[in-house]
Amino acid sequence: ENIHQVRDEVSYLRQQIIKLADDEGLKVAAAGTHPSSRWNEQLITANPRYDEIVEEMKDVARGNLIFGMHVHVAIPSREAGLEILNVARYFLPHLYALSTNSPFWEGRNTGFKSFRSKVFDKFPRTGIPPYFASVAEYDKFVDILVRTQCLDNAKKIWWDIRLHPFYPTIEFRICDVVMTVDEVTCIAALMQCIVAKLHKLHQKNQTFKNYRRLLLNENKWRAARWGIEAKLIDFGKEEEVHFNQLMNELLEFIDDVVDDLDCRTEVNYVYQMLEQGSGADRQLKVYEKTGNLCDVAKYVVQQTRKGL
């Protein structure tokens, strides 16, 4: 029901998973990719749905050794949800940059702050979704894909944000798994505030400008490459601005719903995240100091336990 319950649940689940892993002599590390493991050396969990996806996509599915943080925010109706989703697409690169936590892939520094999305882009029906004018248009799109054997239901639409096909939620899917519980709750609080603010505007028959996916993809690419050090595009001004400036604009935009949701402490943690660097920045700092990916992995393990 609120961000405090999110913190409690995430903390509890991490504690339980870490205990189970410790009992088996294993360690848990929260990141978008493992610094050094190779996908072709991994076993895939036995699951009929996974088997079906591997049969369809072969090495594209087998190579999907990535970890994303998905956040569900409840919506009052699909109609309101779709309008909120259309507008919320603009803020996806902001959230993504904050979460960047996958600079390494199969033992190499990729040069990206988040290489996870580059791996996942090989899947169909990924990325930032297009604009839909109505629920009827959206449902027709899904129906065409089902009737032409592209998918069996809308759960195989893997966009960065989507109306969940079974739950009454908007599901944010763009973010890397982040290291700490503080980072989880900060980003989740931002997502909840964005949805609440856009719903508030919707109730007043107001909205925020929709931008074309081609433009939004430019900011997503920059977020993946440079993270919170990126210059993103302010589409209203049609100029580059530093990420911090756009984040400040986002914080101003949602400010009137933050206290209603009792999440100001969690939202304000964004300033700490900007100061300390994203997970990718911190991983790279360890690597620059030691030159050892094992040290990077140990650091991520330590950060995953922080605050528990």
The domain locations on the chain are: 3-304
Q: How many CB atoms lie within 10 A of CB 1?
A: 6
Q: What is the mean pLDDT of residues 83-95?
A: 98
- Please choose, from the candidates 111, 201, 198, the residue with its C-alpha nearest in 3D space to the C-alpha of residue 161: 198
Nearest-5° angle of CA 100, CA 245, CA 282?
30
Side-chain half-sphere exposure of 118, counting CA atoms within 13 A = 18
Averaged over 11-15, what is the pLDDT?
98
Quote the tokens at residue 56. Answer: 């369809």
From 287, 271, 308, 269, select the one nearest 36 (Cα to Cα).
Answer: 287
Cα 287-293-297 angle, rounded to 5 deg = 100
Strands (E), 15-160: 68-74, 104-105, 108-109, 126-127, 158-159
Interval 53-74: pLDDT, tens: 999 999 999 999 999 999 999 9
DSSP 208: -
Fold (CATH) for 3-304: Creatine Kinase; Chain A, domain 2 (3.30.590)
Note the pLDDT tens digit of each residue in 156-165: 999 999 999 9
Q: What would the DSSP string read from start to end of 9-23?
A: HHHHHHHHHHHHHHH
Question: Which of 141-155, 178-192, 250-264 shows the lowest mean pLDDT across its residues?
Answer: 141-155
Tokens representing residue 255 in the block = 């400010």
Specify the 3-state DSSP secondary structure of 235.
coil
- Assess contact for 116 and 45: CB atoms under 8 A: no
| pLDDT number for residue 52 | 92
CA-CA-CA-CA torsion sign (171, 174, 179, 181): negative
Cα atoms in the 13 Å half-sphere on the side-chain side of 4: 5
Find the mean pLDDT for residues 178-190. 99
CA distance 171 to 158: 10
Report percent pLDDT > 70 for the chain.
100
Provide Rg for the chain, Cα atoms.
19
Structure confidence at residue 198 (pLDDT): 98
Mean predicted confidence (pLDDT) in 212-216: 96
Q: What share of residues in the chain are helix, strand, coil (percent, to 5)?
A: 55, 10, 30
pLDDT at 77: 96
Q: How confident is the model at residue 1 (pLDDT cuts 50, 70, 90)?
A: confident
Could you tell me the pTM of the whole model? 0.97
* Helix count and strand count (H, E) for the chain: 13, 9
Measured between alpha carbons, how far is 114 from 61 in angstroms, rounded to an integer? 19
Tell me what pLDDT residue 128 has.
98
Mean pLDDT, the chain, integer: 97
Work out the pLDDT band at 207, boundaries 50, 70, 90: confident
In this structure, the strands spanning 126-127 and 158-159 are: parallel
From the list 301, 228, 274, the residue with the least C-alpha distance to 34 is 301
